Structure 1
Amino acid sequence: MNGGPIRIVVVDDEPMVCAHLRTILGSADGLEVVDEAQDGAAAVEAVVRHSPDVVLMDLRMPGVDGLTAIERISTLRNPPVVVALTSFDADHYVFRALQAGAAGFLLKSTPPADLINLVRVAADGHTVMSSAATRRLVASAAVRQTAQHRGQRLLAELTEREREVLSCLGKGMSNAQIAKVLHLTEQTVKGYVSRMLVKLQCDNRTQAGLLGYEAGLVAE
């Protein structure tokens, strides 16, 4: 972040949803909605044009969908944080969005105050996903059969301390929160997270947190 407002692009094929999100986010100090888009192609153009900090991306849209847009945005130089917008009728789309590079996901029904806070959290580079929603996602029929085996196989490479850090990641904790819980320094936590991402073959901490759920590491 450059010290200015958090710049946001909102993407949804329903203009009323875009207007609703713009109203909520625009009412908060330090947040600025710089553009809206109704499909994935327009979303990519908006990102190139405005260089936002955060993109709230609907996944199911006509034309170029959100998954394709996330993949394209992730290849850009200095890409923004992309957070998937979802309802529970498309769990498998969320899982694919995280694999494509999304940093997390929010329900469209997220209360306004929570939405504002979570956008700020995402802009700071932290995981954005609710524990309840993540449990539902990993339990979905589209991923259940292979997820647990894959997660357990990858977690076998981790040390006990790395497993503790991963469990905290799966609960959506920031590095500062993990450091406090495990009585470590933030720098030490950063080191653990970096090594885990390599071992787990994950692009970001959100994907690592999902692996923790997949393997049954994160308690209910």
Structure 2
Amino acid sequence: MIRVLLADDQQLVRVGLRSLLELDGDIAVVAEAADGPEALREAARVGPDVALLDIRMPHLDGLEVTRRLAAAQPDVRIVILTTFEIDAYVFEALRSGASGFLSKTVSHDELCRAVRVVAGGEALLSPSVTARVIAEFSRRVEPPESSPERLAALTDREREVLTLIARGLNNAEIGNALAMSPLTAKTHVTRIITKLAARDRAQLVVLAYETGLVRPSGR
């Protein structure tokens, strides 16, 4: 059973999300919160597997809750809920420890799949989502100076894999691009996450751009 915390200041949104999540028997909403401080309290109380956080909440917004929750309970997977497909704070949320983001207009199947994906240690970063994150990164910061020392622990093959992760490829696509099986690609991804002390693929994408391994096109 995947245990979920819902945090949104609109009760109707919480009711709607709960009803969608609990249509399936393997997901349970174990706590709800109407603002940031309550989200942190409930997370500490119930220890959810996944926290669905509205980016815009009273008292503490989703970004600050993400920072604090990622630091206090690193095993909790965090998904940002947003009204729009891309939000000015989404990149910073990923940087702070979120595993991805979802529009509040998602379908039942999309919502449940997202919860299962992040609960399994993956990230909600399809190629289209990654492209928008990259665009936001390009808009907000200057092109980074190369920081090879941060990637010194990686082999040449792992750097290749990390580059493809940053482009939004999944394990099967990475395997196809590098003539390896999806399982081998997954093994490389797991090793990269361990070596770089990252939470998941979302932070690997951020790290690849911050170190200059991959640069946004046109910069």
Q: TM-score, normalised by structure 1?
A: 0.79
| Distance apart, 1:29 and its partner CA | 2.4
TM-aligned CA deviation for residue 107 of structure 1 = 1.9
Return the match for 1:153 from 136, 146, 149: 146
Answer with 114-123 or 73-82: which moved more: 73-82
Select which of 135, 144, 161 maps to 2:139: 144
Cα pair distance change 1:79/1:194, threshold 3 Å: closer
User: Counterpart of 1:92 in 2: which secondary structure?
Assistant: coil
- Which whole-Å CA distance do the structure 2 matches of 1:97 and 1:209 have between them? 13
1:41 aligns with 2:41: no
Deviations 1:83-130 (A, max 9, x none): 111233862211121122112222222222011111101001111123
Alignment root-mean-square deviation, CA: 2.9
**2:88 maps to 1:92:** yes
Alpha-carbon separation, structure 2, partners of 1:61 and 1:169: 31
How far apart are the structure 2 equivalents of 1:44 and 1:8? 13
The amino acid across from 1:50 in the alignment is V
Q: Give 1:71 shift.
A: 1.7
Structure 2 segments unaligned to the other structure (5+ residues): none
Secondary structure at the aligned position of 1:56 is classed as strand
Task: Work out the percentage of aligned pairs sharing the same amino acid.
Answer: 36
Distance 1:100 1:26 in 2: 28
CA distance in 2, matches of 1:78, 1:91: 24
Mapping of residues 199-210 of structure 1, within 5 Å: 204-210=200-206
Q: Which residue of 2 aligns with 1:190?
A: 190
Q: Say yes or no: does 1:58 pair with 2:54.
A: yes
Give the corresponding residue for 2:22. 26
1:155 & 1:24 partners in 2: Cα distance?
45
Q: Which amino acid aligns with 1:38?
A: A
Distance between the aligned counterparts of 2:12 and 2:2, measured in 1?
22
- 2:107 and 2:61 mapped to 1: Cα distance? 25
Q: 8 Å contact 2:86–2:132 — kept in the other structure?
A: no
Structure 1 runs of 4+ with >6 Å offset: none
Q: Which moved more, 1:106-115 or 1:22-31?
A: 106-115
Question: Deviation per CA, 1:60-92, whole angstroms, max 9, x where unpaired?
Answer: 112121112112212225541111112338622
Residue 17 (structure 1) aligned with residue 10 (structure 2)? no
Change (3 A) 1:155 1:165: farther
Structure 1 position 203, deviation (Å): 5.2
Equivalent position SS for 1:20: helix
Contact 2:55–2:82 at 8 Å: present in 1 too? Answer: yes
> 1:135–1:213: 8 Å Cα contact kept in structure 2?
no
Task: Give deviations 1:111-168, integer Å, cap 9, x for gaps.
Answer: 220111111010011111232233223313x752535x22x62469565422331244
Change (3 A) 1:132 1:78: closer
In structure 2, relative to structure 1, the CA distance for the partners of 1:164 and 1:109 (3 Å cut) is farther
In structure 2, relative to structure 1, the CA distance for the partners of 1:154 and 1:144 (3 Å cut) is farther
- Report the Cα distance in structure 2 between the residues aligned to 1:78 and 1:139, rounded to whole angstroms: 27
- Residues 155 and 173 (structure 1), Cα distance of their counterparts in 2 relative to 1, 3 Å cut: farther
Normalised by the length of structure 2, the TM-score is: 0.79
